[in-house]
Structure 1
Amino acid sequence: MPRNRQDVEREIKVAEIRRAAVDLLRDGGYPALSHSAVAKALGLARAAIYWYFPTKDDLFAAAMADVYAQDLGTPPDDPDVMARLRWAVERLTVLQPLTHALHERARQSEVAAELEAALQETLCSRLRDLLAPHVPPDRLDQVATAIIVFVEGLLTQPRSTDERLGLLEFLVTELTRA
């Protein structure tokens, strides 16, 4: 069935709202995001935002999905495992305050929990694909899980870029030894 004008206008409006929400998140984190702030940024009535995103968590999850897609959606086309892992860890470092907010909201919000689970699965799958040529199949899930747990912990500690990447390289080298 062909789409009608109303469907197209809705998609455009939702995309505008999501872009404004992403901008607010990037500028001020979770506390800066609200229906009122998005409405003000777009020159709309607050009720218009609620029409598309009934709760702050719905708005937050949609914006976070966009943030992750923008920042982690296109890894470098580099066959070097460490180059790609360094790229991902540095992007995750920048995203850490927003990721922490998502983790906190996931404890109370189903939509945030669903997004967090989907993002985890996507990152795990991409990591397994990256490691598959370098790790025996019977160890792949365990090695990928160890790296994920390590990176999550690493991102919560105040470390310099060199320290962070040095520790990552050490771990990956140890785990991918034949």
Structure 2
Amino acid sequence: MRRPARKSSLSDAQTVDPNHSRSYAIFLLSRRDYSASELRKKMKGRGYVEDAIIPVVDDLLASNTINDQRYGSNVVAYRARRGQGPVRIRNELRRAGVAAEDVEAAVIGAAEGDSPDFVKRAREVRARKFGPEIPRDRKERAKQARFLQYRGFSNDHIRAALEGDLEDGEPDLS
């Protein structure tokens, strides 16, 4: 059950005070990493005005306290460990407001060795869900391919996880 939305207990003076908004931003960042866009949304939802949010976020970006590239790398590493593929991770980073070039740098960096290999990860996820036996019938292969596609793996990763290219006549999984 969701909690009811929390009403802002901030006074009008606090919503425009840059020191108060900076303190809240630091408080949020002490709990977990945020992208610049996520931090703006979170602060705006708390009741801070744009005039107080923008300079604080810009200052945190300048001091490298928030860094979308670092955030992207952390998300890629975390999601890859949880068995998610690069397609799903890219979508999550885009929803978090990370710039397209930072998203690609994080995912490509993971593919080049900063994080687990996605082909290996797809094989592990498939084996954990369906067992070590590689499916031979078309229906079971399609079922496992759909599962891996849902987890965010590309067609190449899925083919490798199912050990070999899909047979001719099967639908493209992209």
Q: TM tier, shorter chain?
A: 0.3 to 0.5
TM-score of the two chains, using structure 2 as the length reference: 0.36
Q: Which has the larger radius of gyration?
A: 2
TM-score of the pair, normalised by structure 1: 0.35
